[in-house]
Each structure stands twice: as structure tokens, then as C-alpha cells.
């Protein structure tokens, strides 16, 4: 009996494996096509001050629109792109497109804001990242203080000397650096001491259950205090409810981002949102 079960498990495993492999292969082929035809789009989510509601920045988030009208979200294709060696062209496109869009908005008279771009670990490890960024800034005419990179804690773990060199190279260009999803990875406070970080993004999983969950309250408040005491900007991710905003305000979190303010919007909708918001910065939040 055990032998039989073992065998059927084996077959089941095999089927599942080939199904997953087949899926990845299909996605890979379609991704290659999408890269060639530049079929990705960026959506933009605003970041605002917790105390006044004033807009402080924008995060660029990639989307992959399909012919049937649906959209594939990054968690469903970025990991495959990373595994299949396709993240570099995608990341390069995102960087250029985000800088270009930001520059266009600035030239159209909208307020100048930093645009945050998420970096993949593979992009971050590329030897010539600093010069690639410098080149894109020069090409698009965007001033460096209006570009921000979001890194994750896992990217900061390996070769401390090499990482410090990259981060210092980016800072020397004048761009901003944020740690995304802070608190969910291998958080080492050493990183904050060692590396030139401007912003801590408090992960949505902590923000989600404040003020109800005492552990999340403790963690969120600790990150806010840590950031403040080190002169780093704190920003809460995934703020959906007025109670969360009230808590963040009470604890002195500086900035926030989330559905309570706005979801990520296509470029035209974001431009309208920014134009509208400029007239009434204090009213729409909380």
C-alpha cells in the first residue's frame, strides 16, 4: 500500500512539475514578445504627508495588459522574468519610462515630485547600475532628486562592501533610496547605520492590523520612532482605513500610501489626480 501511494505521489508530483514548467515556459515566450513590443505599462500611486495630505511622491508599478483586456500584475510575472533572465530588459524599460513620464509631468507644469522605481535584486547586482542610471537621467533630462529607488532588505545582505559602493554611487548621483517592505525581510539595523538610506517603507502586513493588533501597533510604532531618530523618512504602505490613518498621525508617521488616498492609476488618470489635488491639498485625506 505504501509503495502504491508512493508511486501515485510520484506521478502526481511529476504532473504538477511539468504543469508548472509548462506555465513558466508559456509565460517566458509571451514575456519575450511583450519586451520586444514594449507592451508593458506603468501605473502610478501617490504618496502623501500624513499630517497635511500634501503629495510627496509617486511610485511607479508595472502592469502587463493582455489582449483579452485583463491585466497581469507584477507578482505573477516578475518572479518568472527574474528566473528566465528577462528582468534586465524589463527593469531598463521601467526605469526609462518612469523618468520620461516624470519629466513630462514636470514640463506640463505639475508640481515636481520624486518618482519611486522598484529595483529587482538582479538589477541591483548589475555592475554598471550607477552608470546606467546616470545615462537614463541624462537622456530623459530628469533631475536626480526626482528619482528614488526602492530596494528590499534581502538585497542588502550579501557583500556589504560592494553594496555600500553601489548605494554610495547612487547617492552621489543625487537620487533617493528607500527600503521597501521594511520589517518583512532580514532586517538588520546595521544596514541603516551602514548604508545611506533616505526612507523606510513600513510593510502593509504591519499597517493592515493597526490599531487593533497590539503586536502590529508595537512594530509599526517602533519603525516610525527608529526612522525619526535616525533622520530617515517613514512611510506606511497599504493604508486603507481612516483608523489606520488616525493611528499613523498619532504616532507621527511622516508619509503614507494606499487605497485610502488612491490606488495605482494609469498615467492620464494620475495626471488628472495630481492637477485636481494641487487645488485642494488639505481636504481629500481623512
* Binding residues vs Mg ion (CB under 5 A): 118, 150, 180-181, 237
- For residues 180 and 199, the answer to whether their CB atoms sit within 8 Å is no
Identify the residue among 129, 244, 258, 285 touching ligand C2E (CB under 6 A). Answer: 258
Q: Whose Cβ is closer to ligand C2E: residue 120's or residue 234's?
A: 120
Shortest separation between residue 194's beta carbon and ligand C2E, angstroms: 23
With 0-12 / 13-18 / 19 or more C-beta atoms within 10 angstroms meaning exposed / middle / buried, residue 251 is: buried
Span of 73-81, 125-133, 209-217, 244-252 interacting with ligand C2E by CB under 6 A: 73-81
Residue carrying the nine cell digits 494606499: 258
Shortest separation between residue 177's beta carbon and ligand C2E, angstroms: 14
Span of 71-79, 186-194, 214-222, 241-249 interacting with ligand C2E by CB under 6 A: 71-79
| Closest by CA position to 223, among listed 241, 239, 207, 243 | 207
Is residue 75 close enough to count as binding ligand C2E by CB under 6 A? yes
Task: Decide which of ligand C2E, Mg ion, none touches 190; Cβ closer than 5 to 8 Å per partner kind.
Answer: none
With 0-12 / 13-18 / 19 or more C-beta atoms within 10 angstroms meaning exposed / middle / buried, residue 205 is: middle
Identify the residue among 10, 12, 13, 259 touching ligand C2E (CB under 6 A). Answer: 259
Task: Decide which of ligand C2E, Mg ion, none touches 21; Cβ closer than 5 to 8 Å per partner kind.
Answer: none
Shortest separation between residue 133's beta carbon and ligand C2E, angstroms: 14
Identify the residue among 34, 238, 256, 274 touching ligand C2E (CB under 6 A). Answer: 238
Query: Could you say which residues in the range 42-61 bind ligand C2E, by CB under 6 A?
Result: 45, 61
CA-angle at 203, arms to 255 and 144, nearest 5°: 55
- For residues 235 and 201, the answer to whether their CB atoms sit within 8 Å is yes
Is residue 229 close enough to count as binding ligand C2E by CB under 6 A? no
| Closest by CA position to 97, among listed 35, 163, 156 | 35
d(C-alpha 143, C-alpha 259), whole Å:
29
* CA dihedral (249, 255, 256, 262) positive or negative: positive
Is residue 120 close enough to count as binding ligand C2E by CB under 6 A? yes
Amino acid at each position: 500500500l505504501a509503495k502504491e501511494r508512493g508511486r501515485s505521489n510520484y506521478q502526481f508530483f511529476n504532473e504538477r512539475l511539468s504543469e508548472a514548467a509548462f506555465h513558466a515556459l508559456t509565460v517566458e515566450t509571451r514575456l519575450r514578445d511583450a519586451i520586444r513590443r514594449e507592451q508593458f505599462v506603468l501605473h502610478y500611486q501617490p504618496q502623501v504627508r500624513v499630517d497635511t495630505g500634501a503629495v510627496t511622491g509617486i511610485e511607479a508599478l508595472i502592469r502587463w495588459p493582455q489582449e483579452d483586456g485583463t491585466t497581469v500584475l507584477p507578482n505573477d510575472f516578475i518572479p518568472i522574468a527574474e528566473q528566465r533572465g528577462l528582468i534586465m530588459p524589463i527593469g531598463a524599460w521601467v526605469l526609462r519610462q518612469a523618468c520620461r513620464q516624470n519629466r513630462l509631468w514636470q514640463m506640463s507644469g505639475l508640481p515636481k515630485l520624486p518618482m519611486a522605481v522598484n529595483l529587482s535584486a538582479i538589477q541591483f547586482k548589475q555592475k554598471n547600475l550607477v552608470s546606467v542610471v546616470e545615462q537614463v537621467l541624462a537622456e530623459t533630462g530628469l533631475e536626480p532628486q526626482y528619482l528614488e529607488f526602492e530596494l528590499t532588505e534581502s538585497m542588502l545582505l550579501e557583500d556589504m562592501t560592494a553594496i555600500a559602493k553601489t548605494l554610495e554611487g547612487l547617492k552621489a548621483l543625487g537620487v533617493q533610496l528607500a527600503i521597501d517592505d521594511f520589517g518583512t525581510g532580514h532586517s538588520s539595523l546595521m544596514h541603516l547605520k551602514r548604508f545611506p538610506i533616505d526612507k523606510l517603507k513600513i510593510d502593509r502586513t504591519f499597517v493592515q492590523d493597526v490599531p487593533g493588533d497590539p503586536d502590529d501597533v508595537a512594530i509599526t510604532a517602533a519603525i516610525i520612532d527608529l526612522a525619526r531618530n535616525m533622520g530617515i523618512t517613514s512611510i506606511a504602505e497599504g493604508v486603507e482605513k481612516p483608523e489606520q490613518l488616525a493611528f499613523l498621525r498619532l504616532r507621527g508617521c511622516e508619509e503614507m500610501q494606499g487605497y485610502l488616498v488612491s490606488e495605482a492609476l494609469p498615467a492620464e488618470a494620475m495626471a488628472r489626480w495630481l492637477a485636481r489635488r494641487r487645488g485642494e491639498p488639505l481636504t481629500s485625506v481623512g
